[in-house]
Amino acid sequence: MNVIFNELARDELRDAFEFYDLEFPGLGFTFREEIQKSLRRIQDYPTAWPSVTKEIRKYLLHNFPYKILYSIEKDHLHVIAIAHQHRKPNYWIDRYR
Assess if residue 34 is contained within a domain.
Answer: yes
- Nearest Cα to 69, choosing from 50, 87, 86, 88? 50
How many folded domains does the chain comprise? Answer: 1
- Nearest Cα to 84, choosing from 73, 62, 68? 68
Which CATH number fits the domain that encloses residue 10?
Answer: 3.30.2310.20
- Nearest Cα to 37, choosing from 65, 12, 68, 14? 68
Assess if residue 96 is contained within a domain.
Answer: no
Q: With 70 as the cut, is the pLDDT of residue 89 above it?
A: yes
The residues, any chain, with a CB within 8 Å of residue 42's CB and separated by 6 or more, are: 3, 48, 49, 59, 68, 70, 77
Q: What is the pLDDT of residues 16-28, one digit of tens each?
A: 999 999 999 999 9
Q: What is the pLDDT, as a whole number, of residue 56?
A: 95
Q: What is the pLDDT, as a whole number, of residue 87?
A: 85
Q: With 90 as the cut, is the pLDDT of residue 36 above it?
A: yes
Q: What is the pLDDT, as a whole number, of residue 64?
A: 98
Q: What is the pLDDT, as a whole number, of residue 95?
A: 82
Partners of residue 68 on adjacent β-strands:
59, 82
Task: Determine the average pLDDT of the residues in 64-87.
Answer: 95
Assess if residue 23 is contained within a domain.
Answer: yes
Task: Determine the average pLDDT of the residues in 38-54.
Answer: 96
Q: What is the pLDDT, as a whole number, of residue 94?
A: 81
Q: How far is CA 25 from the centre of its chain?
A: 22
Assess if residue 91 is contained within a domain.
Answer: no
Assess if residue 12 is contained within a domain.
Answer: yes
Burial 87-96 (b: 16+ CB within 10 A, else e): eeeeebeebe
Assess if residue 10 is contained within a domain.
Answer: yes
Give residue 28's domain range. 2-86
Assess if residue 13 is contained within a domain.
Answer: yes
Assess if residue 93 is contained within a domain.
Answer: no
